[in-house]
Each structure stands twice: as C-alpha cells, then as structure tokens.
Structure 1
Amino acid sequence: MAKPVILTVDDDPDVLQTVSRDLRHQYGDRFRIVRADSGQAALDALQQLKLRNEFVALFLVDQRMPQMSGVEFLEQALDMYPNSKRALLTAYADTDAAIRAINSIQIDYYLLKPWDPPEERLYPILDDLLDDWFASFRPPFEGIRVVGNRWSPLSHQVKDFLARNQVPYQWLDIELEGEATQLVEYAEADGKQQLPLVLFPDGSRLIQPSNLAIAEKIGLQTQAERPFYDLAIIGGGPAGLAAAVYGASEGLSTVMIERQAPGGQAGSSSRIENYLGFPVGLSGVDLARRAVAQARRFGVEILTPQEVTAVQITNPYRILHLADGSEISCHALLVATGVAYRKLDVPGMDQLCGAGVYYGAAMTEAIACQGETVYIVGGANSAGQAAMHFSKYALEVVMLVRSPLTKSMSQYLIDQIEATNNIKVCVGCAVEEVKGDKNLEAIVIKNIHTGESETVEAASLFIFIGAMPKTDWLDGVVERDERGFILTGPDLIRDGKPPKGWNQDRSPFLLETSVPGIFAAGDARYNSVKRVASGVGEGSIAVQFIHRYLSKV
C-alpha cells in the first residue's frame, strides 16, 4: 500500500519549506509529505491523489492565505477526504477565526506559529491526530477502478474482460456512489457520456477503452515475439490450453492466440463439479488460471486479446493474418476456437444486449442482482451452473426451459437445483419478447403448450440456448458442416475417398482437417463431446498427431 499523505499548505515559501522539513523528519518513514503553495494548488493535488486512490491522513494548513483562506480550503477538501484529520496554522491575530472553524468545519486542532521546538509544540499534537486517524482507517482497494453504469454494454464489456483475465478491479456505479461522480469530474470526463472510466493505480486513465487498450496498459502480451513457430493454436479454451501445455512441454515452439481471455466458455463457469481429480469442483476461472500458469511455465506465448482473421496456405507454412495487420507463420496449426452461445431471435434483443440481457454466465453481474429476480433461458449444464451461482445473490432465479431438465442436464445439477429453495424451473416456457428503453425492464414469457403469454418485470436475463462455432473466418480453407463445425479425420472420408485437394499419400489423422497440418480440437470440431474433460483430451491428443505431421515436413 502507498504511504498515506500529509498535505501541508502555506503561501509563504520559507514557512512551507520549514514545516515540510519538520514533517519529513518526523513522519517521512510512514507518510508521504505533499506540499502546496496555495489553496487552489492543494485542491488540484487532491484531485490527482483521488484519481490514484491515495489517502490523506492529515491536512496542516495556514489560515491567512490570499485568494483562499485555510478554512475555505478545508471546506472544499473535506468533500474529497471527509475522514482526514485537519489542523490549522494560525498567527495570534487569527485565533478567533480558528476557534470559529472548530465549530464550522470541525477542525481537530489549531497551532500557533512559530511552533519551535517541534518536538514540544508540533509533533505531540500531530502524533495524537495521526493515531486517531489510523484507529479508524481502512486500507483502500489497491488496483484498477472502473466507473460506469450498470446498464452500459461497454461497461459490461470492460468488467467482463478484466474478470475473465483475472485482473482484480473495483466497480463504482455512477448511479449509486457519490465517489464515482467525483472521479469522473476529476478525470475531466464528459459525465455519463464518456463512461466507462478506467482508473489505474499510477493515476493514468482510459475513457471508453477497447479491450486491446486495456490489455496493453495492464501488460498482457498482444504481439508475438517472433515471426515463426512450430505450433500455433487459435483459441484459449480447455482444448487450446491443453494443446499448448503438451506441445510446449514436448519441445515445440508454441504460440496461443485468444480473442478474449484464456479459459474460453468454460472459463466463465461458476462451478465445474464433474472434472476428474477435483472432488469438490473448481470454478472455470481457477481452471483457466492453473492452465495458463502451466503453459507459461513451459514457455508458451499467449496473445490476448488478439484475433486471427484469415489463414494463408503456403506449403510447408501456414500464415496467420491477425486483426492488427500483423502475421505469424507456423508449420502446424490447431484450431480450438470453441463455440458462442446462439442468439435469441426475439423483438428487442439487439438494443438490450449488455444492458440487462447477457449471453453466458456474466459472473460480473451477479452482485448487481442482489434482491432481484433473475431469469435464465436454457436447460443444459451451463444454464444449471449459472442458476446455482446466481441463487447465492438473487431473491429468486427462474429457469425458462422448453423441455424437462432430465433431457439435457447432468443429474448432479438437477439434484442441486431441486434442493435450492429460490430456484424455480418453468418447463414449457420461452421468451417471446424483451422490453425496455435503455435497459431491460420486462420480458414476455410464452407457454409453448397453451400459447398463453405473460409479461413480467425483469432486470436481468441470461441466455444459454445452444452454441454455434466461431469458424466463419475459415470459409473456403477447411471443410465444415452446414452449421460451421470443422470436419476432421474419418468424417472427411466419403465413399472411401479423401477430401478434395488432399495431397498426402495417407488419410487425414484423427483430428486433422481437410488441409494437411491444420488440426481441430474441442467444441468447434464436428461431433465433439461438449465437455471440459473431452476438450482437454482432444487438445492433448492433437499434439501426438501434430508430431507425426511435423516428422514428415
């Protein structure tokens, strides 16, 4: 934690230098001494301290200053730091003003100038004030602060990006917290029109930043260190991370490119309870954190947030074109881009996405749902895990499902849901419409058996209705099925013949696509098992076939 601040203000340079010297001599090991030669300069300094999230323990201020007296300064300073101790330096002629200030702004003490010797006339008084301050002081959050609006899609994007990349932050809602309004003013942002505001511990700030801008600021790697790799992996979910660990541990120079955050869809899961070796379960965030640490230990380069937009085949190389215009070449390529939740196509969805309507678990919104009714659409494991997580915060969780949970959800989750009093499962229910001006206000629920509709108030709707692969950028490169899932191995063989353009004297390996040297693993692969363990398994097995391919290159 940064040292608390003692701020001294005096317009007389000699006095200011002397008091600063005395303060630094006695308190410099525990406090940072900041000085200002006018009330306005001191207020400007306080704004910067506030943006850096530093705390002021004590104000030691001269009363008789031109333009702004000590009392006038303290009146404004206490709006920023109401719990700071305050002492007034006065001449004998100003004692009446100092006494009045005790009543008007509750100053804690006034000292007459000169204060020599400080050991007798200054330090004992300040010692008492600082001891009192420390007794009630609670250390501030040290890290990134995000000021925004709960219903802002961009605010949600920033929070989700930080959370999924396991970067601690403090959320300040502009509608609920006075400090948030202050910080926006001090940062010279244009009110609610320029949110979110992201404040960093060094006092710097970003207004309405992109994920890439945040990544560069917090030190995430977004650029590759070299132009060529043995193995490039696109996607940082369980399959991609497993391949990265096994590839790098077996001597392959490996780069993994992830467009959002390592962990993929599994990384947003609140609890994975059926993963081998973790009898009490673990969160998706924990799984991603462990896997990332393991991959980096073996020397894997992880680029995030970074996106591959195209692949160029120039045998024996595969050239990746990235969104920022750069290129990476590799011998072998593994596509592990996973899937995205399918969009709910009902009126009102587009304008409310990120403003009360969310795809996936959106764990960053859980605390904001305290005391509310949360609606979840979907009946698979991801929806069940989300329901259990939100039940810890919400007044009630309502699951809207077309069919009984037994058709799509693991029994252990069904048992947990049935045992949770504030989760209600509405079978045969579907969302027909969402309503709201700037944020979600109501949803229309239709009973698919009777055709009846009901409109209910709602502030949060989370959607888990199946998934589609993120493979459009591979159109014309590798063979995919009609939904975009990548065909591999035996699924490429038709009538005993290899895929069109296949130029090898062998059949495609088990996880190899229609282009030699390009492999696929995890949820984006056709007919894959949509489980974390199977993704890890496929990523691990893919490396075995990649070695076989590389041995012939």
Structure 2
Amino acid sequence: MQPSETSRPAILTVDDDPSVSRAVARDLRRHYGETHRIVRAESGPQALDALKEMKLRGDQAAVLLADYRMPGMSGIEFLEQAMDIFPAARRVLLTAYADTDAAIEAINVVDLDHYLLKPWDPPEEKLYPVLDALLEAWAAVEHKTIPETKVIGHRWSARSSQVREFLARNQVPYRWFPIDEPEGQRLLAAAGGEEHRLPVVITVDGDVLIEPSDTEVANRVGIVTTASEHFYDLIVIGGGPAGLGAAVYGASEGLRTVLIERTATGGQAGQSSRIENYLGFPDGVSGAQLTERARRQAHKFGAEVITTRDVVGLEVKGAARKVRFADGDSLAAHTVILATGVSYRQLSAPGLDELTGRGVYYGSALTEAANCSSQDVYIVGGANSAGQAAVYLSRACKSVNILVRGDSLEASMSYYLVQQIAGIDNIHVHTCTEIAQAHGEEHLEAITLKHQDGSTRRVDTQWVFAFIGAAPRTDWLDGPAKDARGFVLAGPDLPPVEELGDEWTLDRAPYHLETSVPGVFVAGDARAESAKRVASAVGEGAMAVMLVHRYLEKL
C-alpha cells in the first residue's frame, strides 16, 4: 500500500535556476515519487520556510539537495541553517566542476554527506545510486513522526504545566518539548516564537499559538466550546461523574441535553490513576479511562459537551433557567442540574503559592509523573485520591511520602488502599505532619515539615502533590440555598416549604435532589451530605434526571 502524503518522508531540492529546479524535481519524482514527497524550492529562504512548515506538522525530511551558487543565500548557508531544523536529514551539495574545491571545504562546515557534479546524466548512474545509499542510511536510524499537538515551554513554568494538564485531561495527544533541550529550541525557531513568550502550542495542522488561553487551545485542537442551540431541556453544569451520569441518562431518555465544563470532563475522579472499588471493574480502571468512556457514551446518545466555559450565574426567567458565562454569553433550559463537584483546597504554608505549578501541584500526579521518576516526592492528604496517587507514583519514584495531619489513614481512606500502601516498601506515611514552609527560587527545592509535637525538619524535594479537602465549586452560585461551607442543600436537607422564601413558588415540597429553586437540581459532591464517592455521584446524576422528568411533566 502506498504511504499517505503526510506520512512519506520528504526529499527537498533547492536551486535558483527554475529550469534546473524543475529538472531535478522531475528526476526525483520519477524514481522516488511513490515513497517520498518531493519538495521543490527556488531559494534558500523559500526552502527554509518549507522545512519549518514540515517541522510544525511533524513531517520528516530525509534528504536535502542544495545548489552551491545561489544569490542571497548560498547552498552551504542554507544547509547550515537547515541543520538546526532537521539535524538528521542527509545533506547533498549540487556543484559545477569549478566549485568542487569549495564543496570539499563545506564538508566540515555543514557535515556534508555528499556533493554531486552537474549535470548528472544519466541519473540512473550518477544520481539515484547516491540517493539510494543516503536514504538507506537515513532509514536505518529511527525517525518517529509526531502527529500530536506539540507544547514548548519552560520546565518550571506554571502556565506550561496548566496547558499540558488541560490537553491531557481532555484526551488530546500531545508531545512536550522543554525549551532547554535542542529539539525544543528547534521547534521554537521553526514556529517563530521567543523564549520570553511561552508556552507555545503547535497544532497537528501546524498552527502556532503563543501564550494561548485554554479556550484558544480548545478551539484549535477540536474541543467543542460553543453550544449548537440557545435553549435545551436540561443543562448540566460540571463534567465529573455526576455530570456525566446526568448527561448520559438525560440524552438517552430523549432530553435535549448539554453539559458545560470549565476545564475538562472527569472532575477529581478523572485525575485518579486507578479506581479499584467502582462496580464492574474488578481489575480497576483509571479515572481518565472511565471519563473517556462516559464522555463517548454521552455523545452516542446525543448530549452536547462544551468545554472551557465558566458559569458565573444562574437566573430564573419565568419557566426558563438561564446560566450566564464569564464572557457575557448565556444559555437557557427548562431545568438545570448542578454537578460542579469540589476542588482541592490550597495549602496555606509560606512559599507554596509562589511555587504552585513549579514543583507544587494540586491533583496533577498523572501529568507530572514522568518528570519525577527516581526522585523523592511528597503527597499531602489522606483520602482516596492521595492514596491512589501514592500507589501510582511509587512505581517509578525513589520514595513517596504521604503527609497526613491525623494519626492514621484509616479514618479517611478506603480499607483496600490502606492495605495496598502498607505493602509497598517505598511509600512512607508520616502521620501528625504538615508542611510549614516551602523553599525555592525558580522551582521548589525543599520543604519544612512540622510535626504535632512542634518539632520541624527540612527535607529536599522538587515535588509536592496536594490532595486535601473538598471545597465546593459553588462560590458563583446565588439563589439555591447552601450550608455554611457552601455545599448545596436539597430535598429533605432544606428547611420547610414555608421557610424557603420567594424563590420557591410551588405548592409542593422539593424533590429529593431539588434545590430551593424549582427545576434546579444538585448531584454529586457539591450536594450537602453527599457520599463523596464516584459510584454515588453517578447514581445521583441518574436519579436527578428521573426527577427532572417528574418536574417537566408538571410544567
């Protein structure tokens, strides 16, 4: 089977004489056209532009043939600059007999592989055998094309870390190129970027995004950010297990359903390395796998999923429930399910805020795991998410240290995880311990630990992963009643009907998952007194849809 156009390595020829350039390209296509792309240029700058576009697309250049005498940029100057873009490409200089001495001298300048005298008729004797040998030598070295999105950035940059996390959680394949490595420098030069304006994202199509927002990235890598309609039967706010469960059941039961997520579907569960107590998965399932299956299931039934939209308000407009976005846009529906979940609480010790994204991470263990191999890492938190991260990181890290304020893990972590951790030699649990201070300039270098007895000690580490607390994502929400901690009250947890106030306009009591605003329901971790487990969140999402049907029947 013939290779596709984009998968074939390229042979590039550059000559300023159009007739010679066409003749070279013709000879190359005749012999190599089925297995290689033949790229023709008539100047050095034009050829460099072609190579940069290939680099951005993730294509490969196998051989570069350049005429020695070209105005503006000689063949040697072109090959010297081309080395920075495709260092593995074989380099050939095309020369007249009078220029052979210069060609020989160029061997050391541009690490020339061969020089060819013009004319080379017949090509079967003087051109093809030379190129056959060069292509064979090039193919003997592994050359992997990179069809993924590329991210170039500083290793210890918070924004670079955020972009990588955003792509990973949205299931967008990407390749990371630190700016302090040669390939990162080559890609940045090809993209026309600057080191002080990072990260740079290069899409599969070769589009260059400099310091992009999440929405800009989403729009260029195929993530949907805009709803197709203005009015729905059901708006689900939040794409964690509860939101995905509601979207699946809502759409499968015929409701025009849209799910709104501000970052990526999956919520905290989507960041779990392995969930082993979820029904139906005896060997466990990663949060990313479970999330992706649920997202595809929602799409299958017709639910829309839109991402990078931050909801900042909820209003009642007659029979409609309207949600407002941070960019001023809005969307309306008959009903709304709040499935916003919870977020990890920020650590408060001095130095931690400044080093967030530069050694201090909140729930980013999967994205950063490859970078902390064979090192000492610290995990803050004693619930399941912390335990799952510890087990995962223990496979590659030198040591994993769990810091918990309590005197044991049993009070907050599932029994099966506690037992697993106890059986892993390089996981160490430090009870009655917290971080008192973080140290470092450009990135985290050490932390000071404080023990319950008041003693402290400083330990060297570049990695802290925090999984503490459950702060509900409801600070934007006005209208539905909340408890003192911000969790949304629903059903039997609400005051009697006569005490609900003007928002409650019906002559019945709220349904089990209905808030103090009719037609607005809550499911999952954002609900007061919820179980804070994946299975219960999915179940509440399904139950909320059943109650949505009951509400709609009485409209």
TM-score normalized with structure 1 length: 0.96
Letter in 1 for 2:281: F
Partners of 2:85 and 2:187 within 8 A in 1: no
> Which amino acid is 2:423 matched to?
A
- Tell me, yes or no, if structure 1 residue 344 matches structure 2 residue 347: yes
Q: Aligned AA for 2:58?
A: N
Amino acid paired to 1:123: Y
Which SS does the other structure have where 2:258 is aligned?
strand
Q: Is the 8 A contact 2:365 2:393 kept in 1?
A: no
CA contact (8 A) 2:236 2:337 kept: yes
Match of 2:385 among 382, 388, 404: 382
Residue 234 of structure 1 corresponds to 237
CA distance in 1, matches of 2:260, 2:84: 47
Cα 1:443/1:478, change in 2 over 3 Å: same
Alpha-carbon distance between aligned partners in 2 of 1:517 and 1:204, rounded to the nearest angstrom: 43
Distance in 2, matches of 1:32 and 1:109, equals 20
Q: Which residue of 2 aligns with 1:528?
A: 530
Q: Deviations over 1:358-410 (max 9, x none)?
A: 11244211111112211111111110001111112221111111220111111
* Equivalent residue, structure 2, for 1:508: 510
Residue 547 of structure 2 aligns to a residue whose secondary structure is helix
Shift in Å at residue 106 of structure 1?
A: 4.1
Q: Sort the Cα spacing of 1:380 and 1:323 in 2 relative to 1 into closer, same or farther, 3 A.
A: same
Residues 81-480 of structure 1 aligned to structure 2 (within 5 Å):
81-102=86-107, 105-175=110-180, 177-191=181-195, 193-403=196-406, 404-448=408-452, 450-475=453-478, 477-480=479-482
Letter in 1 for 2:99: D
| Corresponding residue for residue 25 of structure 1 | 30
SS in structure 1 of the partner of residue 354 of structure 2 = helix
Name the SS of the counterpart of 1:244 in structure 2.
helix
SS at match of 1:312: strand
SS in 1 for 2:459: strand
Moved more, 264-273 or 202-211: 202-211
Contact 1:498 1:507 in 2 (8 A): no
Q: Does the C-alpha gap of structure 1 residues 79 and 187 become closer, same or farther in structure 2, counting only changes over 3 Å? A: closer
Greater CA drift, 265-274 or 218-227: 218-227
Deviates more, 1:233-242 or 1:451-460: 451-460
Give how far 1:469 is off. 0.4
- Residues in 1 aligned to 2:28 and 2:493: alpha-carbon distance in whole angstroms: 77
Tell whether 2:70 aligns with 1:65: yes
Report if aligned partners of 1:269, 1:361 keep a CA contact under 8 Å in 2.
Answer: no
- Amino acid aligned to 1:506: R
Name the SS of the counterpart of 1:350 in structure 2: coil
The farther-off stretch of 353-362 and 210-219 is 353-362
In 1, Cα distance between the equivalents of 2:67 and 2:488?
A: 74
Q: Is the partner of 1:275 in helix, strand or coil?
A: coil
Aligned residues: 548
- Report if the CA contact (8 A) 2:235-2:333 is conserved: yes
Identity of aligned residues (%): 54
What are the Cα deviations for residues 417-437 of structure 1, in whole angstroms up to 9, with x where unaligned? 111121111111111111222
Secondary structure in 1 aligned to 2:138? helix
1:246-282 per-position Cα deviation (integer Å, ceiling 9, x unaligned): 1111111001000110111100111000000000000
- Compute the displacement of 1:104 (Å): 5.2
Give, as a single letter, the amino acid of the residue that structure 2 aligns with 1:182. Answer: R
Q: Which amino acid aligns with 1:344?
A: L
Q: Which moved more, 1:320-329 or 1:277-286?
A: 320-329
Amino acid at match of 1:503: T
Post-superposition offset of 1:302: 0.5
* Alignment partner, residue 56 of structure 2: 51
**Range that drifts further, 256-265 or 362-371:** 362-371
- Structure 2 unmatched ranges of 5 or more: 1-5
**Alpha-carbon separation, structure 2, partners of 1:413 and 1:424:** 14
Contact 1:492 1:498 in 2 (8 A): no
- Cα distance in 1 between the residues matched to 2:380 and 2:355: 16
- What is the identity, as a one-letter code, of the residue corresponding to 2:428? K
2:21–2:42 Cα contact (<8 Å) kept: yes
Structure 1: unaligned runs, 5 residues or longer: none
Task: State the Cα deviation string for residues 492-534 of structure 1 (Å, max 9, x = none).
Answer: 134x856223222221111000111000000000000010000
Aligned residue in 2 for 1:547: 549
Please say if residues 85 and 190 of structure 2, whose CA atoms lie closer than 8 Å, have aligned partners that are also in contact: no
1:518 maps to 2:520: yes
1:246 and 1:290 map into 2 onto residues whose CA distance is 14
